[in-house]
A and B are shown apart, each in its own frame.
Chain A
Amino acid sequence: NAGVTQTPKFRILKIGQSMTLQCAQDMNHNYMYWYRQDPGMGLKLIYYSVGAGITDKGEVPNGYNVSRSTTEDFPLRLELAAPSQTSVYFCASSYIAGGLPGTQYFGPGTRLLVL
């Protein structure tokens, strides 16, 4: 199993450009998450999904959009890039059933620089 994969690894965007960060998992996990990591701030949840077709906002959703058309894929869309979106983005997935907490498994991350 590849686990959680993310593309691209690194990207430079100009202010106002848009892009999609790709995330895929091959573990048949029902839940998927997008986080951003800023220095000294830990990870903040942007969006999450409980299954195909169902998404919800996290702590810091402004400026982002997501979709989940399949169990495997959970892309994150930045419509109008701003310098404040310069960060490292991590996708994660987990299997949750019966109300018990699942372990989240993370992808390698996408480093985004907005200039």
Chain B
Amino acid sequence: AQSVAQPEDQVNVAEGNPLTVKCTYSVSGNPYLFWYVQYPNRGLQFLLKYITGDNLVKGSYGFEAEFNKSQTSFHLKKPSALVSDSALYFCAVLRGAGSSNTGKLIFGQGTTLQVKP
């Protein structure tokens, strides 16, 4: 069965320090992976995705993610955290691909990022 896990409910980091939000996945076939961010009382905003190609994917707001096939991970990173990055982050994997692609996403349970001044 395909699944996504975000092992940390919350990540705390000081402003200016690097941040990492972890995500591991289990899929059959090639993984298509996504990161979304949700600010309080808002919808999800797309950050970045991995489809194929370079293992390091760059996205919005200075975020990037590293795809590691051997470790089945897709960790979200940022070199220098901002207080405004504090939000709920979701990792997701596409259920099915190729001709069976219906775009259905499987979401992790979310990780709250708290950046302190």
Measured CB to CB, the residues of A under 8 A from B are: 4, 31, 33, 40-45, 48, 50, 56, 58, 90, 92, 94, 96, 99-109
Contacts and interface: CB of A to CB of B under 8 A. Distances in A.
Contact of B103 (A43, A101, A107, A109): A101
B51 A103 contact: no
B43 interface: yes
A99 B104 contact: no
Contact of B49 (A33, A92, A101, A108): A101
Minimum-distance CB pairs A-B, first 8? A42-B107, A106-B43, A106-B44, A43-B107, A42-B109, A101-B32, A108-B43, A99-B98
Contacts of A99: 97-99, 101
Nearest to B98: A99
Nearest to A29: B103
B101 A101 contact: yes
Contacts of B105: 43, 45, 104
Contact of A104 (B9, B41, B46, B51): B46
A107 B44 CA distance: 8
Given A42-B90, A99-B101, A109-B43, 12 more contacts: A40-B110, A43-B107, A45-B105, A96-B102, A96-B103, A99-B98, A99-B99, A101-B32, A101-B49, A104-B103, A106-B36, A109-B41
